[in-house]
């Protein structure tokens, strides 16, 4: 029997995953809200029961982050996420406009491909599985090779829980023979309808270049501005809580701190009091040599590491209990490596004279993580207004970047895929949820006869009276001119439910069928026929 090399085996395995995933997608597309909710609740129970095991596996396999923080990430991506999305309309009729006689319906996208980063290898699987199922899609994951085992375990846990609650077999799958060839094969698979890309810039770019619709995110390089009116102890506490959470592995975490000359001493003293260590010039050079390779590309060896681990590797003596290393910078760009993204326990530090300088510096820093996140600590509403125009999709006020950007400490949607808008080359600028994983279609009832458009258009008559007059003369004369546009009354259909209409169960007579008025029951029948036509039933 002929043996194939590993790449060829992985490609064949990827094709089989896609085919099985497509079968599952076709099946789950017909599930009701009740069925989907039952599946999601079982997935949450399984995720929460295994949150600690998955967190431990992730840290052991990758070396990134902190176990207790990864437990909370897993909780966020399952229990907290479910509470947020449980009542979102992603199935069937999601909106009705009785005046305009339109109905908006949600249909699933189909088979999704989810790319998983090594920084959040289990929580990303939980999160993307939940939002995929909520929108009645199946999903197949491409794990990062450095986190293949823990990612595979998360996939199995979520799929087993979904199937146990009634989902189709293979509704959640993942590549087991992890190669770039397999990932590329999935990206270009005809069965895959959409890609959700979370990972390095190269992987996200590949997803957008695949020819498939893709939801991707760019790099984060979030500055945190401590403005002169800020409560300094509170601001530092929030920044430290954010940057130390899972050792800074979430892309919304702060990468630079900007303070003003007038509050610099207070800010430095407070950071020191709360466990930060300010590097001198030589120490900063040593740390940068460890953190970056080929200029400002972050070395995987020091992603998600504690301040103590980094200091020890750099041969630097720091006080016991040091939580974050801070290096002062005097510019942005290649000569100042800490001005770039650092998904670890290290911050850049800048001092400016006023908010105008802070504004210019923030924009310069954001060019290396444009469209992602910025945070401001201030008591001035005017400053908030001035900084709200910065090129970032999330402007966070008086909160930590990690917790605020992901929706944990703000009113933003809970998410682990954070859109960067066109600034960052992303197709969306908000936090990704199940509403982004549906096809939205509209059923529109005719309100005006096409040949009578000009006669009903008073605005056209205002701007083009002679043409309106001419068209009016050419228009056919109706046997009985209606007192209002045809088909604009009689509908009392309620969004998401056909049983709510007062006359939904009443029989419809032949006379009523021949009328121009469409009642709720007939409109419901028309919608069902249209849905079946789309499905090829």
**Local confidence band at 443 (pLDDT 50, 70, 90 cut-offs):** very high
Q: Helix (H, G, I), strand (E, B), or coil: what is residue 114? A: strand
User: Same domain, yes or no, for 139 and 253?
Assistant: no
User: Same domain, yes or no, for 342 and 311?
Assistant: yes
User: Same domain, yes or no, for 206 and 235?
Assistant: no
The CA angle 355-359-360, to the nearest 5 degrees, is 125
1 located within any domain: no
How much is the pLDDT for 481? 45
140 located within any domain: yes
Q: Which residue has the higher pLDDT, 229 or 178?
A: 229
Q: Check which CATH number belongs to the domain holding 115 and give it.
A: 3.40.605.10
> What's the whole-number mean pLDDT along residues 96-117?
94
Q: Which residue has the higher pLDDT, 524 or 349?
A: 349
The pTM score is 0.86
Task: Give how many domains the chain has, as a whole number.
Answer: 3
How far apart CA 404 and CA 387 sit, in angstroms, is 17
Instruction: Summarize pLDDT for 132-145 with one digit per residue, the tens.
Output: 999 999 999 999 99
Q: Check which CATH number belongs to the domain holding 323 and give it.
A: 3.40.309.10
505 located within any domain: no
533 located within any domain: no
510 located within any domain: no
User: Same domain, yes or no, for 320 and 359?
Assistant: yes
Q: Which residue has the higher pLDDT, 374 or 520?
A: 374
Q: What is the mean pLDDT of the chain?
A: 88
User: Same domain, yes or no, for 189 and 242?
Assistant: no
> What's the whole-number mean pLDDT along residues 41-69?
98
Q: Quickly count: other Cβ atoms within 10 Å of residue 163's Cβ.
A: 17
- Tell me which range, 81-90, 296-305, 420-429, is most confidently predicted by mean pLDDT: 81-90
Residue with tokens 């966020």: 76
Q: Which domain holds residue 342?
A: 223-411
User: Same domain, yes or no, for 59 and 197?
Assistant: yes
Sign (positive or negative) of CA dihedral 484, 490, 492, 498: negative
456 located within any domain: yes
**Local confidence band at 129 (pLDDT 50, 70, 90 cut-offs):** very high
User: Same domain, yes or no, for 134 and 239?
Assistant: no
How much is the pLDDT for 531? 56
> What's the whole-number mean pLDDT along residues 116-133?
96
CB 159 within 8 A of CB 170: yes
Name which of 404, 446, 68, 386 is nearest 238 in CA terms.
Answer: 404
How far apart CA 365 and CA 369 sit, in angstroms, is 7
User: Same domain, yes or no, for 82 and 162?
Assistant: yes
**Local confidence band at 324 (pLDDT 50, 70, 90 cut-offs):** very high
Name which of 282, 298, 374 is nearest 337 in CA terms.
Answer: 298
For 62, 124, 130, 288, the CA distances from 415, given in Å and listed in that order, are 22, 9, 11, 31
How much is the pLDDT for 296? 82
User: Same domain, yes or no, for 236 and 189?
Assistant: no
Catalytic residue numbers, as ranges: 251
How much is the pLDDT for 533? 55
In the 8-state DSSP scheme, what is residue 219? -
Residue with tokens 């993204």: 341
**Local confidence band at 63 (pLDDT 50, 70, 90 cut-offs):** very high
Name which of 147, 127, 139, 183 is nearest 59 in CA terms.
Answer: 147
SS (H, E, C) 457-473: CHHHHHHCHHHHHHHHH
User: Same domain, yes or no, for 198 and 236?
Assistant: no
User: Same domain, yes or no, for 262 and 319?
Assistant: yes
> What's the whole-number mean pLDDT along residues 55-74?
98
Q: Quickly count: other Cβ atoms within 10 Å of residue 56's Cβ.
A: 15
Q: Which residue has the higher pLDDT, 244 or 425?
A: 244
pLDDT score of 512 more than 50: no
What element of type H or E holds 181? helix 180-187
CB 24 within 8 A of CB 171: yes
Instruction: Summarize pLDDT for 477-488 with one digit per residue, the tens.
Output: 554 444 444 443
> What's the whole-number mean pLDDT along residues 321-346?
96
How much is the pLDDT for 207? 76
207-210 long-range contacts (CB < 8 A, ≥24 apart) are 207/115, 208/425, 208/427
* Bridge partners, 97 (sequence order): 102
Q: Which residue has the higher pLDDT, 276 or 220?
A: 276
Q: Helix (H, G, I), strand (E, B), or coil: what is residue 67? A: helix
CB 326 within 8 A of CB 283: no
pLDDT score of 25 more than 80: yes
DSSP result, 310-361: HHHHHT----TT--EEEEE-SS-BTTBGGGS---SSEEEEEEESSHHHHHHH
177 located within any domain: yes
User: Same domain, yes or no, for 229 and 279?
Assistant: yes
**Local confidence band at 475 (pLDDT 50, 70, 90 cut-offs):** low
511 located within any domain: no
In the chain, % of residues over pLDDT 70? 86
Q: Quickly count: other Cβ atoms within 10 Å of residue 404's Cβ.
A: 24
């Amino acid at each position: 029997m002929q043996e194939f090399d590993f790449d060829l085996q992985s490609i064949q395995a990827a094709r089989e995953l896609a085919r099985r995933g497509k079968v599952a997608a076709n099946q789950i597309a017909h599930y009701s809200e009740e069925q989907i909710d039952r599946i999601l609740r079982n997935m949450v129970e399984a995720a929460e029961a295994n949150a600690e095991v998955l967190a431990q596996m992730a840290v052991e396999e990758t070396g990134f982050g902190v176990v207790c923080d990864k437990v909370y990430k897993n909780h966020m991506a399952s229990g907290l996420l479910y509470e947020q999305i449980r009542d979102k309309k992603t199935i069937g009729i999601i909106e009705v406009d009785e005046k305009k006689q339109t109905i908006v319906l949600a249909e699933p996208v189909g088979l999704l491909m989810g790319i998983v980063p090594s920084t959040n290898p289990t929580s990303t699987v939980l999160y993307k599985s939940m939002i995929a199922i909520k929108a009645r899609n199946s999903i197949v994951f491409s794990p990062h090779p450095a986190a293949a085992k823990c990612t595979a375990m998360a996939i199995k846990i979520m799929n087993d829980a979904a199937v146990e609650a009634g989902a189709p077999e293979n509704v959640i799958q993942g590549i087991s023979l992890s190669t770039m060839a397999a990932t590329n094969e999935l990206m270009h698979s005809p069965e895959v309808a959409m890609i959700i890309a979370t990972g390095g810039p190269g992987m996200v770019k590949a997803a957008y270049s695949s020819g498939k619709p893709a939801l991707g995110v760019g790099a984060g390089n979030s500055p945190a501005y401590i403005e002169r009116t800020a409560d300094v102890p509170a601001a530092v506490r929030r920044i430290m809580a954010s940057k130390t959470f899972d050792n800074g592995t979430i892309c919304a975490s702060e990468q630079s701190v900007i303070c003003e000359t007038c509050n610099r001493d207070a800010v430095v003293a407070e950071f020191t009091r709360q466990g930060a260590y300010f590097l001198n010039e030589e120490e900063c050079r040593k740390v940068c040599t460890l953190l970056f390779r080929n200029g400002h590309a972050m070395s995987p060896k020091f992603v998600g590491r504690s301040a103590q681990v980094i200091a020890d590797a750099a041969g630097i003596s720091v006080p016991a209990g040091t939580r974050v290393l801070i290096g002062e910078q005097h510019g942005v760009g290649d000569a100042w490596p800490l001005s770039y993204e650092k998904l670890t326990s290290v911050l850049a530090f800048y001092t400016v004279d006023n908010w105008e300088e802070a504004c210019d510096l923030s924009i310069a820093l954001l060019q290396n993580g444009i469209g992602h996140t910025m945070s401001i600590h201030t008591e001035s509403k005017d400053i908030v207004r001035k900084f709200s125009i910065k090129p970032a999709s999330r402007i966070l006020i008086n909160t930590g970047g990690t917790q605020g950007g992901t929706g944990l400490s703000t009113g933003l949607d809970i998410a682990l895929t954070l859109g960067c808008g066109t600034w960052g080359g992303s197709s969306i600028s908000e936090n990704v949820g199940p509403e982004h994983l549906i096809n939205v279609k509209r059923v529109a009832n005719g309100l005006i006869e096409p040949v009578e458009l000009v006669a009903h258009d008073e605005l056209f008559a205002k701007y083009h009276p002679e043409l309106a007059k001419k068209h009016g003369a050419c228009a056919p004369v109706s046997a009985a001119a209606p007192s209002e546009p045809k088909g604009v009354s009689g509908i009392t259909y309620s969004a998401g439910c056909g049983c709510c209409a007062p006359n939904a169960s009443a029989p419809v007579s032949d006379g009523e069928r021949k009328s121009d008025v469409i009642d709720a029951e007939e409109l419901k029948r028309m919608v069902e026929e249209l849905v079946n036509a789309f499905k090829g039933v």
